[in-house]
Amino acid sequence: MSAAQKAMAEADLVDDREGMTYLNRLPRRIVVIYIPLAIFVFVLLFPFYWMGVTALKPNAELNNFNDYNPFWPSSPTLQHIKYLLTETSYPGWLWNTMLVAFGSTVLSLFCAVLAAYAIERIRFKGSRVTGLMIFLAYLVPPSILFIPLAYMTIRLGIYDSRMALILTYPTFLVPFCTWLLMGYFRSIPYELEECALVDGASRWEILTKIMLPLAVPGLISAGIFAFTLSWNEFIYALTLIGSSENKTVPVGVLTELVRGDVYEWGALMAGALVGSLPVVILYSFFVDYYVSSMTGAVKE
């Protein structure tokens, strides 16, 4: 090879594209990274900050923005939190919400695992259409379903009970969890299942000993999604629960702490802040699994 040909070959191997080097300069990093990130963090965290500040303000400061700083309590107090925890049924609402969210999540995950495995791995005729119809069921507005569901709970004798919510929440949790797990099961190699079948394993053994251990991130992601929706659900909880002691946090805070045109803003914000903490803690522990499972669900 001549010297000219070697020079041309070396030139072809040189990558003169800029890549991410344009971020080496501080002004560009500020404009491209730091400013958008600061705006995002502010928009994300400001509601929690406002709830915390309002929960700590005395009643005299809540609406008097002329004499007091609206963004910082001049005389912080815990009277609203004390009132919420000792003079209302909030601890009971929190316990009801926890039981309902946990029960409906477990039930929904059980049904979604069986449905997703059957649709993706057994390969029966019409499986794709079945999966599409299950996901379309998620798009049905709850405002259309709460009246017939209320009638069914009355006929079954479970109206105004936690069981009514545990059995009705899967109507909107199962479709999305099934769709999510279908995508994750699809990313698992079929060769693992075929080898297990050759070795004499049953479908149940394959599901419990091979598929589920490999699909732990997907299960965590679906569980977080189901738990969050169950925790924050409002329409069904408002319709199917009548007594104060059986209410969940979203319904109890709104119906019990708002009396006509009187809004107990301190207690309302304290209840909203405390009620959001379990979901925030849940996400903080499993955020890596959540992101990885969402990637595995949509990559195909």
pLDDT of 17 reads: 53
**Which string of DSSP letters, residue by residue, matches 228-244?**
HHHHH--HHHHHH--SG
Separation of CA 61 from chain center: 34
**Percent of the residues in the chain that have a pLDDT greater than 90, as a whole number:** 20
Residue 25 CB coordination number (10 Å)? 10
β-pair partners for 12: none
pLDDT of 176 reads: 86
Q: Which domains does the chain have, with CATH numbers?
A: 20-77 (no CATH), 82-298 (1.10.3720.10)
Global pTM value: 0.79
For the cut 60, the answer to whether the pLDDT of residue 127 exceeds it is yes
Q: Rounded to 5 degrees, what are φ and ψ at 82?
A: -65, -45
Q: How confident is the model at residue 300 (pLDDT cuts 50, 70, 90)?
A: very low
Residue 91 CB coordination number (10 Å)? 12
Which of 107, 175, 177, 108 minimizes the C-alpha distance to 139?
175
